[in-house]
Structure 1
C-alpha cells in the first residue's frame, strides 16, 4: 500500500504548539528562566562579541559563527543566537523538548537545527563549533569531567565555552532549593540535588582538567526588591557563569 503523502497528525502538532506556548509564557511555569534570560544573554553576547571581535550594534553580528546550545529546552537561548545571525544547533537529552522548540522556531520564522542528542554523541560524530553554550546543565550530569571534556572536543581551536551552574554552600541550599522549590514553587521539588552543585573553584579545576582555559566568571544575582537579575563580579554565592577557551 502506498504511504500517504502527508502523515502529520494535526492534533499532535496542536499538542506541541500548546506546550510551546507554555514554554514561552513569561508568566507560566518557566517564569524563572524568562526572568534570568536577559542577564544570561547580556553575558553571553558580550563574551562572544569580545572573543570574535563582533559589533553588537551591527546587523546579524554573529553571522558566520556556529553555536551549540546544550540543554536547549524550548529554545530560550537558541532563538536569540539565531536572530543575531549565528548558525545554531540546539541539543537536548529530553526528547519531548525538541518538537516544542522546533514548533516555536517555525512560528518565529527561525531556522535552528534542534536535535535529541547529547554532547558526547555530537563529539563522537566530529561536530565542531565556535561557541558552546552550556547553561545550567553541568550540575545535572553524572560525570562532570567527562561531560566538560566532550564540550571541549566540540569546540574549534580558539573556541569559546560558556558554562553556568549553581554554587554549593548553605546560601545556595536555602535559595536554590528551599526558596525556589519549596517557598516560591518556581521549580518542582527535587529539580536540584544540592550535593551535585559545584563551587567556582571546583568548576575552574574541572574546566582546566578538561583541557579548557578559564578566562572569566561572574555571578547572577537576584534582587527580591526589584524582582530582577544582574551580573556581579564579586557575588558568586548562588548562581554564576564562566567563560573559557579551547587553546588555539
Structure 2
C-alpha cells in the first residue's frame, strides 16, 4: 500500500510539474510573441513613413525646380521688356513716384521761415510783432505806476536820472510812433523793397534805443523782463527783413 501510495504521489508530482512547465512555456511564448509582433508592425510603419517622406521630398524638389525655372524665365522676360521699354506706364508711374518723393523730402527740409506760407504772410507777421512790442512798451509803463518807488518819482518829476519834462515826454511819444505806425505800415506799403527797408530801419532803431535804456540807469527787474521781450521782437524783425530777398518790385495788390 505504501509503495502504491508513493508511486501515485510521484506520478502526480511529475504530472503537475509537467503541467506547470507546459503552462509556463505557453505564457513565455505568448509574452515573447507580442513584442515580436509589435516590433514587426513598428518596422513596417517606419519603412512606410520613410518611403512617404522620400516621395514628398522628391515631389517638392521637382516643384521647386519648376518654379525656379519659371521664375528665371519671368525675370529674363521682364528684364528684356524693361530694357525695350515695353512697360512705359510702369516706368512713368515709378518716375512720378520718385519725383513726388523728392518733392516731399524737399518740403520737409524747408524751414518754417523759408516756407511758402511764411512768405505769403510776412506782412501780417511784421504787423503782429509790432503789436506785440507796442503792448510790452505800454504795459511796462503801466507796471511802473504799480511800483511805489517809481510812482513817487513820477510825482517828483524825476525818474531815475531822467527829468520828466514836456520835451522829454514829447520825444518819448515820437519814438513810440515808430512802433505804433509799423502796426499798419506793412499793410499799406505795397512795394516789397520799400517795406523791407522800412522794417530794417525801424527795427534797428527801436532795438538800439531799448538796449541803451538798460545801461542808462539801473533797471528794475520787471523793466528788464519787458525790455528783453521788446528787444527780441524788434531784433527779429530787423534780421528777418535783412535776409528777406523780395522777388517782386512791383505792387503786390
Greater share of residues in helix: 2
Greater share of residues in strand: 1
Greater CA radius of gyration, 1 or 2? 2
The structure whose RCO (Cα within 8 Å, separation 6+) is larger is 2
TM-score by length of 1: 0.20
TM-score by length of 2: 0.20
